[in-house]
């Protein structure tokens, strides 16, 4: 097939979030013999080497500067529009014109929209009556995600403005997701939970699940490791993303002090780009390190004694958990953090939802190296068996065939 993939940012390096998923899909489709074109926005850090790397998998790459949208414009849209904020985040008239020309000039069998932000162009192609099948790859059930964020934020008075924002967005997103799911020829979800929500928006109630995946063997720890300390706790993720910010703030205020009563030298490493201003106060804590952007999270995963995932909001399959497990780390996570994963994941990590439960579980594992090693090895085997791209890509190809594509 000739496939055009649209992504919100260049999916290289594939270190976080949507980039991991989009890169894995592109890699797998190329390996399966398909011809790929990629159209994306360029981030400030993207260089010629990143684009050159993507050319290994794509026959054609078009990269445009991202649109500029001021806080004033966002506020105006919030007050005077019924559209969700995310529907305008990546809209660019230049991108729309280039996309229209590309689809008019070339014949594609499939155009895939990677995530809700880039799906703002779906209606454009639908209006062109292109012969290409239009597939929306939903990274999250976004309306449901915003409702969960609202429920968490409304419990803290200083977070009420953010809670109100989430409530407004949840209502608008439900309508927007409904439109996208009806306009698309096919919709893909990353988890059974998300699929159940999105099926209500489809006339045929057909939303196949293609889980997030990783190249599991790439995360195996070998050779010299980064020395983080005997009791190093690691959390990874894009650190301007609200669920990640909430997780770190909650862990630092409610859980880490309980751990320090029994393990005084336990140190938390928060690894990820674009740390939110809410995290600035944590830099003053001598047992917390905010790294900011790093080229590769693997050295931190391999240097960790334990990986923590104290998420209270979010949806989909957590790529950060898959990475940590593939690196052979023992994991302590909330029920929210493991939502979207196979139920049997509970056999290879520890689940705790209350601060005292999570602190106790972490203390017990920090004091028991053998159990940490056993859990890490079991987690590594689990990810290899269920979430490696070699397992995921055949599911994607089956989903295409079930949609009548290919």
Per-residue model confidence as pLDDT tens digits over 53-90: 899 999 999 999 999 887 787 778 777 788 999 999 99
Q: What would the pLDDT profile of 95-104 be if each residue is shown by its tens digit? A: 999 999 999 9
Lowest mean pLDDT among 140-149, 180-189, 358-367: 140-149
**SS3 of residue 316 by DSSP:** coil
What pTM was computed for the model? 0.89
Q: How high is the pLDDT of residue 317? A: 65
Q: How high is the pLDDT of residue 262? A: 97
* Distance from chain centroid for Cα 28: 18
- The candidate with the shortest Cα–Cα distance to 380, out of 301, 309, 300, 317, is 301
What mean pLDDT comes out for the span 25-33?
96
Token code pair at residue 98: 């280039």
Q: How high is the pLDDT of residue 78? A: 75
Q: Is 387 exposed, middle or buried (0-12, 13-18, 19+ CB in 10 A)?
A: buried
Q: How high is the pLDDT of residue 50? A: 85
Q: How high is the pLDDT of residue 315? A: 67
Q: How high is the pLDDT of residue 77? A: 77
**SS3 of residue 6 by DSSP:** strand
Q: What are all long-range contacts of 42-48, with beta carbons under 8 Å and residues at least 24 apart?
A: 42/9, 42/10, 42/66, 43/9, 43/10, 45/293, 46/9, 46/10
Query: What percent of the chain has pLDDT above 70?
Result: 98
What mean pLDDT comes out for the span 259-283?
95
Contact predicate 147/169, CB 8 Å: no
Q: How high is the pLDDT of residue 191? A: 92
- CA separation for the pair 313, 170 (Å, rounded): 14
Q: How high is the pLDDT of residue 364? A: 98
Q: What would the pLDDT profile of 157-174 be if each residue is shown by its tens digit? A: 889 999 999 999 999 999
Q: Output the CA–CA distances (angstroms, integers) from residue 34 to 11, 70, 134, 281, 401, in the order listed.
A: 18, 39, 16, 49, 14
User: Taking every pair of C-alpha atoms in the chain, what is the biggest distance, in angstroms?
Assistant: 66
Q: Helix 142-153 to helix 160-183 angle, to the nearest 10 degrees?
A: 170
**SS3 of residue 111 by DSSP:** strand
pLDDT for 176 beyond 90? yes
Q: How high is the pLDDT of residue 44? A: 65
Domains of the chain: 2-213+389-402 (3.40.50.2000), 216-386 (3.40.50.2000)
Q: Is 326 exposed, middle or buried (0-12, 13-18, 19+ CB in 10 A)?
A: buried
What mean pLDDT comes out for the span 272-279?
93
Q: How far apart are the first and last CA of the chain?
A: 6
Average pLDDT of the chain to the nearest whole number = 93
- CA separation for the pair 71, 88 (Å, rounded): 12
Sheet holding 288-292, edge to edge: 288-292, 267-271, 232-236, 306-309, 331-333, 350-351
Tell me, what DSSP letter sits at residue 57? T
What mean pLDDT comes out for the span 222-242?
89
Q: How high is the pLDDT of residue 180? A: 97
């Amino acid at each position: 097939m000739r496939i055009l993939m649209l992504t919100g940012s260049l999916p290289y390096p594939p270190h976080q979030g949507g980039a991991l998923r989009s890169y894995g899909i592109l890699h797998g489709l190329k390996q399966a013999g398909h011809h790929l074109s990629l159209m994306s926005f360029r981030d400030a850090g993207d260089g010629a080497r990143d684009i050159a790397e993507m050319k290994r998998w794509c026959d054609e790459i078009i990269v445009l500067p991202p649109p500029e949208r001021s806080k004033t414009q966002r506020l105006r849209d919030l007050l005077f529009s019924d559209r969700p904020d995310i529907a305008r985040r990546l809209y660019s008239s230049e991108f729309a014109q280039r996309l229209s020309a590309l689809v008019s000039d070339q014949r594609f069998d499939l155009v895939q929209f990677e995530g809700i932000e880039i799906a703002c162009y779906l209606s454009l192609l639908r209006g062109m009556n292109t012969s290409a099948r239009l597939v929306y790859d939903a990274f999250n059930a976004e309306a449901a995600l915003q409702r969960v964020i609202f429920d968490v934020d409304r419990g803290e008075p200083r977070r009420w403005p953010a809670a109100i924002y989430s409530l407004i967005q949840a209502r608008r997103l439900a309508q927007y997701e409904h439109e996208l799911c009806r306009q698309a020829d096919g919709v893909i979800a990353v988890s059974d939970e998300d699929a159940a929500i999105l099926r209500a928006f489809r006339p045929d109630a057909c939303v196949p699940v293609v889980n997030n995946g990783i190249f599991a063997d790439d995360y195996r720890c070998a050779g010299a490791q980064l020395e983080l300390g005997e009791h190093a706790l690691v959390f990874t993720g894009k650190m301007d993303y609200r669920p990640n910010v909430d997780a770190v703030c909650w862990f630092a205020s409610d859980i880490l002090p309980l751990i320090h009563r029994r393990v005084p030298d336990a140190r938390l490493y928060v690894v990820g780009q674009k740390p939110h201003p809410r995290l600035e106060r944590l830099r003053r804590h001598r047992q917390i390190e905010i790294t900011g952007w790093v080229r590769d999270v693997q050295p931190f995963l391999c240097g960790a004694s334990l990986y923590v995932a104290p998420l209270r909001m979010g949806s989909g399959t957590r790529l950060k958990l898959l990475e940590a497990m593939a690196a052979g780390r023992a994991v302590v996570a909330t029920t929210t953090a493991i939502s979207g994963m196979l139920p049997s994941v509970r056999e290879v990590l520890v689940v705790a939802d209350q601060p005292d439960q999570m602190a106790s579980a972490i203390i017990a594992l920090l004091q028991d190296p053998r159990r940490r090693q056993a859990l890490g090895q079991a987690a590594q085997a689990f990810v290899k068996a269920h979430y490696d791209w070699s397992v995921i890509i055949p599911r994607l190809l089956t989903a295409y065939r079930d949609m009548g594509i290919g």
